[in-house]
A = this chain, B = another copy of it.
Amino acid sequence: MEPSSSNSMQTDHCLEKAPMEVHQVAPPPHRSTIQKLKSRLKETFFPDDPLRQFKGQPLEKKWMLAAQYIFPILQWGPNYSFKLFKSDFVSGLTIASLAIPQGISYAKLASLPPIVGLYSSFVPPLVYAVLGSSRDLAVGPVSIASLILGSMLRQEVSPTSDPLLFLQLAFSSTLFAGLFQASLGLLRLGFIIDFLSKATLIGFMAGAAIIVSLQQLKSLLGITHFTKQMELVSVLSSVFHHTNEWSWQTILMGFCFLVFLLLARHVSMKKPRLFWVSAGAPLVSVILSTILVFAFKAQRQGISVIGKLQEGLNPPSWNMLHFHGSYLGLVVKTGLVTGIISLTEGIAVGRTFAALKNYQVDGNKEMMAIGLMNVIGSTTSCYVTTGAFSRSAVNHNAGAKTAVSNIIMSVTVMMALLFLMPLFQYTPDVVLGAIIVTAVIGLVDIQAACQIWKIDKFDFLVMLCAFFGVIFVSVESGLAIAVGISLFKILLQVTRPKTVILGNIPGTDIFRNLHHYKEAMRIPGFVILRIEAPINFANTTYLKERTLRWIDEYETEEGTKKQSSIHFLILDLSSVSSIDTSGVSFLKDLKKTLENTGTELVLVNPVGEVLQKLQRADNDRDMTRPGTLFLTIGEAVAALSSTMKGQSSSYV
Chain A residues within 8 Å of B, Cβ to Cβ: 1, 19, 21, 23, 26, 28-29, 33, 43-44, 47-49, 52, 190-191, 194-200, 355, 358, 360, 363, 451-452, 454-459, 486-487, 490-498, 500, 505, 507-510, 512-513, 515-518, 532-534, 536-542, 545-546, 548-549, 552, 574-575, 577-582, 584-585, 589, 592-593, 596, 605, 607-608, 613, 616-617, 631-632
Contacts and interface: CB of A to CB of B under 8 A. Distances in A.
A546 B43 CA distance: 9
B537 A492 contact: no
Nearest to A201: B537
B534 A493 contact: yes
Given A49-B549, A616-B454, A578 B493 contact: yes
A516 B580 contact: no
B617 A454 contact: yes
Nearest to A355: B589
Contacts of A200: 537
B538 A490 contact: yes
A492 B44 contact: yes
A552 B500 CA distance: 35
A508 B509 CA distance: 11
B47 A198 contact: no
Nearest to A43: B496
Contacts of A510: 23, 631-632
B577 A194 contact: no
Given A454-B616, A581-B459, A582-B197, A545 B47 contact: yes
B616 A455 contact: yes
B577 A533 contact: yes
From A199, A508, A513, A589, name the one whose CB has the most chain B CB atoms within 10 angstroms: A508
A491 B490 contact: yes
Given A516-B607, A580-B459, A575 B532 contact: yes
Q: Which of A23, A49, A505, A549 has the most CB of B within 10 A?
A: A23
Contact of A191 (B29, B541, B585, B617): B541
B496 A44 contact: yes
Contacts of A596: 358
Nearest to A589: B355
A454 B23 CA distance: 28
Contact of A195 (B33, B505, B515, B537): B537
A458 B582 CA distance: 12
Nearest to A199: B581
A99 B448 CA distance: 64
7 contacts: A198-B537, A200-B537, A358-B596, A456-B581, A458-B580, A493-B494, A574-B574
Nearest to A534: B493
B541 A194 contact: yes
Nearest to A611: B516
B48 A199 contact: no
What 7 A-B pairs have minimum CB-CB distances, sorted nearest first? Answer: A197-B537, A575-B575, A532-B577, A28-B516, A48-B545, A498-B577, A516-B608
Residue among A495, A515, A577 with the highest chain B CB neighbour number at 10 A: A577
A511 to B, nearest CB: 10
A476 to B, nearest CB: 20
Given A19-B508, A47-B545, A617 B577 contact: no
Contacts of A632: 510
Given A195-B537, A513-B607, 17 more contacts: A23-B510, A29-B518, A194-B495, A196-B537, A197-B581, A197-B582, A198-B581, A199-B537, A199-B581, A358-B596, A459-B581, A486-B538, A490-B491, A498-B578, A510-B631, A533-B577, A574-B574
Contacts of A26: 516-518
Nearest to A632: B510
A120 to B, nearest CB: 28
A33 B457 contact: yes
A601 to B, nearest CB: 15
A198 B541 CA distance: 12
Contacts of A607: 498, 500, 513, 516, 532
Contacts of A616: 454-455
Contacts of A505: 23
A591 to B, nearest CB: 12
A190 to B, nearest CB: 8
Contacts of A363: 541
A287 B647 CA distance: 61
A593 B490 contact: no
Contacts of A195: 537-538
A33 B455 CA distance: 12
A599 to B, nearest CB: 13
